[in-house]
Structure 1
Amino acid sequence: MRTGPPRTHAQSSALVAAAAALAAVAVLALPQPAGAAESSPIGFGAGTTGGGSAPAVTVSTLDAFRSAVSGDTAKVIRVNGLIPLSGQVDIGSNTTVVGVGSASGFTGGGLRLKEVSNVVVRNLNISKPVAPADGITVQKSTKVWIDHNSFSADREHDKDHYDGLLDINHGSDDVTVSWNTFKDHFKGSLVGHSDNNASEDTGHLKVTYHHNLFSNVYSRIPSLRFGTGHFYNNYVSGADTACHSRMGAQMLVENNVFRSTKIAVTTNRSSDVDGFANLRGNDLGGAATEVSRVGTFTNPPYGYTAEPASSVVASVTSGAGTGKL
């Protein structure tokens, strides 16, 4: 029971206002629920804005899409429906491409980001990219955010029938790959296309992968040559070889979960020069590791929060893929 003189009306009002302010601060301080869509990329791709606040244009045919994504002026393109492709469509700089709903996107081919910058690709279904087309190719490009997409193919064909789901090459830089699903494929995500491309790739190919699901993808999760890769809070299930660091690449593999996977991390396969890797906080689930050279990349040059491996499966399975924006 309160003792002393009664509070004045002004004092009571001030106390109520102060309590409300504290409550508001407390709410703002609460972390976002796992899988809540970020409004901007975390990682090496930070600062990528795409078309920003440019007026959105909705397209539902291939011709309309090709026209809408060309050029380097700021633009936001909404893809409504599933559009068949043969080969790839080139995307201009300063572009956001986003799918409408959970089932819009492309099948049979993919998108190419060549010699461009500041591109966002979100909420697209990209399936069965018949070789030589990748689902998405990032080539000689910078500032790219690949977020909340669903990539898939099948394992019923020869391993070379489809090309990569997401390949990043030719000195590309500052890329974040977040909250995507990659399913039913042989060759997931190749970063650095060749052992013979050191002159172009050394010092580049800086890529962050976080909160992605790789399910029944045989290898290249990712395969990284020459570059610097941060692979954290991903869920890998059903792989033969997952993270592959080669040709002097530096990879930090942090707080991921591996299930039904033969080799979680390797640095000494397929290339003449080994890569480097640092591992911390992972749940390997019985998977082996082959780390011939421990790397020096331990502190990424950006702010991020890696959740513990114990919560990754729940976060990724509920939050990754299309329809979650």
Structure 2
Amino acid sequence: MSTNLSRRRFMVMTGGAAAAMTLGGLPQAASAAETAPTGFGAGTTGGGSATPVTVSTLSAFAAAVEGDAAKVVRVSGLITLSGQVDIGSNTTVLGVGSSSGFTGGGLRIIEATNVIVRNLNISKPLAPADGITVQESTRVWIDHNAFSADRDHDKDYYDGLLDINHASDYVTVSWNTFRDHFKGSLVGHSDNNGDEDTGHLRVTYHHNQFNNVYSRIPSLRFGTGHFYNNHVVGADTACHSRMGAQLLVENNVFASTKVAVTTNRSSDIDGYAVLRGNDLGGAATEISQVGSFTTPPYSYTAEAASTVAASVAAGAGAGRI
């Protein structure tokens, strides 16, 4: 993961939402819940009604997402990356069909605002690139993507699937799949970044599936997180609140998981957590400090944990909008 804050068009080159969208040339009706984000990222509109541009090469994509004018960029096919491509403000990036996206690297949303990323396959982001990095950015919606790698290599061979850091704020992560990876989603990159991060890093995760992801589901420092209606299978350590972070863990399902929630690992300062309505599936919890974040400042509907696995299986990932 790069911590260089200089703005660049892209790091390395090798090779909003409307009521109805066109994916793969076919009109796809979407429910109200899928046409706009809920949670902390509510109000994100991306490129809005800008005329879509379809790209199928890295050079065309990098040029299309540059700058802060309103734009909707449709990615057709699987594009190989080395490093990350920077995404400008007021942008919607939308995969065409069920198999478009990026492999080998990822996307970076840096010093930007009002960005939507939907319906992409993002796989095997070789370190130091994350699948998606959100850095010094606000109003971001990451929705209906499929993130994946493998666990055949050392844990540092790939970087994070989705990392949110450097005082980013008002982010919603919804209806994505994360699979076969060591380091899922890190919010707040360092224990030493409290001066920048405190008061920011407000993130909502809902209706995501984490399958065979070892840890960081998510790992949250300093910020405020709402983790609800997610399905976690095969984790060693799932939700991790540290460095004074406040995490509300609500109506989720954990299966074949050792530790569902912890507040007291890996950092000198513990975090806070509130748990309610979860199906822990026999997983342990390590709550050293009960949090004060119990009422998110937005409207949402949390379904009962008993229906979460079926809902997420039917709706999460690329090709589902």
Indicate which of 287, 291, 301 corresponds to 2:287.
291
- 1:90 paired with 2:114, answer no
- 1:252 paired with 2:248, answer yes
- Determine if contact 1:35/1:318 at 8 Å carries over to the other structure: no
- Whole-angstrom CA distance in 1 between matches of 2:175 and 2:32: 10
Match of 1:106 in 2: 102
- 1:189 paired with 2:185, answer yes
- Whole-angstrom CA distance in 1 between matches of 2:158 and 2:106: 11
Tell me which amino acid in the other structure corresponds to 1:93. Answer: S
Secondary structure of the residue that 1:44 maps to in structure 2?
helix
Match of 1:304 in 2: 300
- Whole-angstrom CA distance in 1 between matches of 2:292 and 2:97: 42
Indicate which of 35, 45, 48 corresponds to 1:49.
45
1:150 to partner: Cα distance: 0.1
1:317 to partner: Cα distance: 0.6
Match of 1:177 in 2: 173
Indicate which of 65, 69, 73 corresponds to 2:65.
69
- Whole-angstrom CA distance in 1 between matches of 2:258 and 2:313: 21
Classify 1:302/1:224 alpha carbon distance in 2 versus 1 (closer, same or farther; 3 Å): same
Q: TM-score, normalised by structure 2?
A: 0.90
- 1:276 paired with 2:272, answer yes
1:37 to partner: Cα distance: 5.5
- Whole-angstrom CA distance in 2 between matches of 1:199 and 1:174: 18
Indicate which of 118, 123, 133 corresponds to 1:122.
118
Tell me which amino acid in the other structure corresponds to 1:282. Answer: N
- Whole-angstrom CA distance in 2 between matches of 1:70 and 1:237: 37
1:38 to partner: Cα distance: 1.2
Tell me which amino acid in the other structure corresponds to 1:213. Answer: Q
- Whole-angstrom CA distance in 2 between matches of 1:36 and 1:105: 25
- Determine if contact 1:186/1:219 at 8 Å carries over to the other structure: yes
- 1:264 paired with 2:267, answer no
- Whole-angstrom CA distance in 2 between matches of 1:180 and 1:301: 23
Secondary structure of the residue that 2:39 maps to in structure 1?
coil
- What runs of 5+ residues in structure 1 fail to find an aligned partner? 1-33
Report matched runs for 1:178-217 at 5 Å. 178-217=174-213
Tell me which amino acid in the other structure corresponds to 1:252. Answer: L
Match of 1:239 in 2: 235
Match of 1:14 in 2: none
- Determine if contact 1:136/1:165 at 8 Å carries over to the other structure: yes
Match of 2:148 in 1: 152
Query: Deviation per CA, 1:27-64, whole angstroms, max 9, x where unpaired?
Result: xxxxxxx9986110000000000000000000000000
Which has a greater percent of helix?
1
- 1:39 paired with 2:30, answer no
Classify 1:128/1:85 alpha carbon distance in 2 versus 1 (closer, same or farther; 3 Å): same
Classify 1:234/1:35 alpha carbon distance in 2 versus 1 (closer, same or farther; 3 Å): farther
Secondary structure of the residue that 1:298 maps to in structure 2?
coil
- What runs of 5+ residues in structure 2 fail to find an aligned partner? 1-29
- 1:58 paired with 2:62, answer no
Which structure's CA Rg is the greater one?
1
Q: Matched residue pairs, number?
A: 292
- Whole-angstrom CA distance in 1 between matches of 2:124 and 2:66: 24
CA RMSD, 1 decimal: 1.0
Query: Deviation per CA, 1:235-290, whole angstroms, max 9, x where unpaired?
Result: 00000000000000000000000000000000000000000000000000000000
- 1:140 paired with 2:136, answer yes
Match of 1:27 in 2: none
- Whole-angstrom CA distance in 1 between matches of 2:227 and 2:147: 18
Which stretches of structure 1, 4 residues or longer, exceed 3 Å deviation after superposition? 34-37
Match of 1:18 in 2: none
Classify 1:313/1:207 alpha carbon distance in 2 versus 1 (closer, same or farther; 3 Å): same
Classify 1:174/1:91 alpha carbon distance in 2 versus 1 (closer, same or farther; 3 Å): same
Indicate which of 314, 318, 321 corresponds to 1:322.
318
Tell me which amino acid in the other structure corresponds to 2:191. Answer: D
Report matched runs for 1:153-168 at 5 Å. 153-168=149-164
- Determine if contact 1:35/1:319 at 8 Å carries over to the other structure: no
- Determine if contact 1:97/1:122 at 8 Å carries over to the other structure: yes
Question: Kindly, what percent of the aligned residue pairs are identical?
Answer: 81
